[in-house]
């Protein structure tokens, strides 16, 4: 069953010199906060890490969805939890056998999810979806904000939705990358329930208006 739509702004696109203010601006209008951690190795870019997560924690009550674009996320679960992470997602390309990692994350009190890059077929995560609180379909190549949504990933969202529903599993389906008012409805109709949006929100003149426009599209998307 598809759940109520949730919007998760990605702080990668925020102004890091005033991160607390940026988050406070969107907080009343969104459902969780997406935090992109990059290691310059799994992806060709660096972003932010545990000290930033910890310093942001007292500024917001939003849950932290930490997207680990790193080869060694397993080494940092306890530190992520202490810093204030609620959800940790790791890439199936980095952890092709993620069972133990999923158990470790759960025993740290974290929700756990697996992320698929655009070229990776859904089959790669299928055996592990029952261990997941969420499955994240990347709709851009990971490493950079501001890229265009890859339409071909909609089919993978549909596949994930069918898989989860047909087995009665509880995993959320999140879509990450290139999301804005112009395509959020299509991602919703394909079956996503969590929508990550970075540039469309934080690079906008009026981030709150863009979030409202996404809500309108989401509300309309499932009405016949």
Please pick, among 65, 133, 172, 176, the residue that the annotation labels catalytic: 176
Regarding 174 and contact with Zn ion (CB under 5 A), the answer is: no
Nearer to ligand DX5, 98 or 180 (CB): 180
> Which one of Zn ion, ligand DX5, none is in contact with 84 (Cβ closer than 5 to 8 A by kind)?
none
193 given a catalytic annotation: no
Question: Measured from the CB atom, is 190 or 197 closer to Zn ion?
Answer: 197
8 Å CB contact between 48 and 67:
no
Burial class (CB in 10 A: 0-12, 13-18, 19+), 139: buried
Kindly tell me which of 176 and 193 has the beta carbon lying closer to ligand DX5. 176
Pairing state between β 87-91 and 111-116 = parallel
Contact 98, 131 (CB under 8 A): yes
Q: Is 133 a catalytic residue?
A: no
Nearest to 120 by CA among 147, 142, 89: 142
**Contact between 70 and ligand DX5 (CB under 6 A)?**
no
Q: Binding to Zn ion by residue 176, rule CB under 5 A?
A: yes
- Secondary structure (3-state) at 66: strand
SS3 18: helix
Binding of Zn ion by 67 (CB under 5 A): yes
Q: Which residues are catalytic?
A: 36, 176
Binding site for ligand DX5 (CB under 6 A): 10, 12-13, 34, 36, 67, 140, 142-147, 176-179, 196-200
């Amino acid at each position: 069953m598809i759940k109520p739509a949730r919007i998760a702004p990605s702080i990668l696109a925020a102004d890091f010199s005033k991160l607390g203010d940026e988050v406070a601006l969107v907080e009343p209008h969104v459902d969780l906060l997406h935090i992109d951690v990059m290691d310059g190795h799994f992806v060709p870019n660096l972003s932010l890490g545990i000290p930033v997560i910890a310093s942001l924690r007292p500024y917001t009550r939003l849950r932290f969805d930490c997207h680990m674009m790193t080869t060694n996320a397993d080494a940092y679960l306890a530190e992520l939890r202490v810093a204030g992470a609620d959800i940790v997602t790791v890439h199936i390309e980095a952890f092709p056998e993620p069972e133990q990692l999923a158990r470790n994350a759960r025993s740290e009190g974290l929700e756990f999810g697996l992320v698929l890059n655009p070229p990776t077929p859904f089959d790669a995560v299928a055996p592990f979806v029952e261990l997941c609180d969420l499955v994240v379909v990347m709709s851009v190549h990971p490493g950079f904000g501001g890229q265009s949504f890859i339409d071909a990933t909609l089919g993978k969202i549909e596949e994930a939705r069918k898989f989860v529903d047909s087995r009665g599993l509880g995993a959320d389906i999140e879509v990450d990358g290139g999301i804005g008012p112009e395509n959020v409805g299509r991602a919703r109709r394909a079956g996503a329930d969590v929508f990550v949006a970075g540039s469309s929100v934080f690079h906008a003149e009026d981030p709150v208006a863009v979030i409202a426009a996404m809500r309108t599209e989401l509300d309309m998307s499932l009405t016949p």
